[in-house]
Structure 1
Amino acid sequence: MHANTSVKIDRILVLGAGELGLAVLRELAQRPAAHVSVMLRAAALDAASASKRQTQEELKTLGVEVVTGDVVNDSEPQLAAIFSGFDTVVSCLGFVAGAGTQLKLARAALQSDIKRYVPWQFGVDYDVIGRGSPQDLFDEQLDVRDLLRHQARVQWLIISTGMFTSFLFEPSFGIVDLDDNTVRALGSWQTAVTVTTAQDIGRLTAAILFDPALINQVVYTAGDTLTYAELADTVDRILGRTVERSEWTVPALKAELAVAPGDAMRKYRAVFAEGRGVAWDKADSYNAQRQIETTTVAQWIEQHLY
C-alpha cells in the first residue's frame, strides 16, 4: 500500500471456500504480494465427502493455509482474535450462514487489528434498494455499510457484482427454464439486470484489492447488463430455438410472496423485479474502465449450454 522498494506483502484471510471463495482464492494465490489463508469450519475439514477432499487438495496445491473458525458458533471476540493475524479479511460467506451473520462478522472485523475489511456484499446495490425491500436480509447489508462508514480505523471495500451469471439459469429461480423452453421476465421485459460470473468476480476482486486508488468505497463490476428481452433474444440466438416468453409482474410476484413470506426465491424474484439497484451500465464498471475482459451472458451460454 505504501510506496516501497520492497514488495509489501498483504496477509489476506478469505472466509469460506464455496464457489465464490474458491474463485477468489485461486486468483489471490497467484499474486506475489499476497499471503493467502482461508477460514473454514472444523466440519469442512472432515474429509468424509469427495467434494471436501477435492477442495482441500486444491487449497494445498494453491499454497493456501487453512485456519479453523466457526462464524455461527464462535463469539465476536473469538473471531476478532482470528482476524487479528491478518491485514485484510475478505468475507465470501453469503446469506446461507443465517440472519445476523453479516453484522457479527463486521463487528468482529472492527474489533480486530486488521487494516481492511471486504464484507460479503457481492451482489446488488443495497444503498439504491434501500430498507424494507421484499428481501429482508438486505436490510442487514445496509447495517453493515453503516457500521463501516461510521468508523475510520479499518479501511473497507464493497464489491457490487450484480447477480451471479449462473443464477439466471438456475432452474429453481425460474428465469431461463430450458426444460420448459421458457424465459420469464422479472417485472417487465425492459427491466434490466447486471450479472458477473464467479470466476470473473474472483479475478476482479484480486485486481481491486491490489489497486491502491480504491479505498473506503463501493466498486461496481459487470460481466453483462441486459434487459430480460435481451436475455430471451440471446437464448434464442445462441441455442437456435424460440423460447416461450412469460412476464412476472411486480404485483404478481408480491402476491406470491405474501402467500409464502419465508420463501427466499420469492423474495429475490420480487426485489429483482422492482428493478432498483440491480443493474448498472457496464461501461461504468471497474472492469470496463480498466479494460478487463469479462464473460457476457452470450459467452456463458456458449460455454455451458451449447
Structure 2
Amino acid sequence: MTLSLRDHIDVLSAPGPVMLVSVAAIKGSTPREVGAFMLIAGGQVAGTIGGGNLEHQVTLRVRAQFGSDQALIPTSEIVRFPLGPGLGQCCGGSVEVGFHLLDSARKADLCAVLDDVARQPVSQSGRWLMMPVSAGGAGWQIAGADSAQAAMLASGFGTQRGGVVALNGVQTLCLRLDDALTPLWVFGAGHVGKAVVQALAPLPFDIHLVDSREDYLAGIGGKNLHICQSDRPELEVADIPAGAHVLILTHNHALDFDICRAALIRGDLGFVGMIGSQTKRARFVRRLSDRGLGAVEIGRLTCPIGIQGITGKQPVVIAASVAAQLLSVREAQMAQNQTTKSASDGVV
C-alpha cells in the first residue's frame, strides 16, 4: 500500500532523535511483510509494522532508550520477537525487527527523499528505499520500479528474508515504499462505475475509466486514474496490458457483450468481471458459445461480480463488494506469481 509519507516527513522534520523501525525478516504467520517500516520519535509515530502488542512493545522499547543516555543507544540492531503467548498475539510466527537510529544528517536525507517520492505517482512495479547500514555510507537511494535492484529485492523478500541485504558487497537496509499497482480497466462511468472508481481510489490499482459518453466522464479525477472517452470502447480491449483486470459495467448489454467477448478471447488478462445477474450470465454464455468461444475461454468470466453474501444493490454497496473481490484476486495472483518465480529461481 502507498505510505502516508507526509506523516513520516513531519516526524523527520521535528527536533530530537528518531528511530527507524523495520520488519527485517519474518517466519510463519506475521502481521506485516518484510520491508514494512515505521518512525518513532519522542512524541510522534508514523507508519506501522503491524500494530498490536508487537508494535506497542517496540514503541515502549524505543522511548525507554530515548529517555536514557543516548550515547548508549545502539545505532543499528536487529531483535527477534516471537509472536506467541509472550506477546499475547496469536499469529504464531516470529518477526526480526530492525532498529536504526537516525542521526541529524540521515534524518535530513530521508526527509528529502520521502518528500521527493511523495510528489511522484505510485509505481506500477513497486519501489524500495535503500540505505547502507555502515557508518559513513552513502545516503538514501530509491530502487526504481523497473530496476534490476527492485526486481531482486521483490524476489528476495518473497522468500521471507530481507530487510538488511548485501547489495554490491555492502550491507544495505531495504524498505518497502509502495506495492505494485495492478492495472484495471473499468468500462462504464455510470453510477456503479463511478462508485467503483471512488472505492478503489486509495487502493493499489492503476485505473482506466472508459466510456463513450463524454458528459459522464466530465469532472471525474483522482490519483492513479486515467479517463478515456472512446466511441468504440470494445476496441480499447486490444491495448490492455497482459495481466490487467477488467470490469464491464456499461449501460448497454450489447456493448457489454462486445467488450466481454474481446476480453475473454485475449486469454492473458488477470480478471474479467461483468455486472449482472445469473440470468444475464446464462444468456451471455449461450451467445459466447454460439460465437465460437470454448469452455475455457468462457470460464474466465466472473459474473455476477462481488463477494458472495453481499446482496445490496446500491452502487456504493456493489462497489465495496467488488473492491474486496479485486483485492482478493490481486493477492492470490501476487502469491502465485511469487511462487512461480521462486520455483524458476530454484528458491525453496
Coarse TM-score class (shorter-chain normalised)? 0.3 to 0.5
Larger Rg: 2
- Tell me the TM-score normalized by structure 2: 0.37
Structure in which a larger fraction of residues adopt strand: 2
Higher RCO (CA < 8 A, seq sep 6+): 1
Structure in which a larger fraction of residues adopt helix: 1
- Tell me the TM-score normalized by structure 1: 0.41
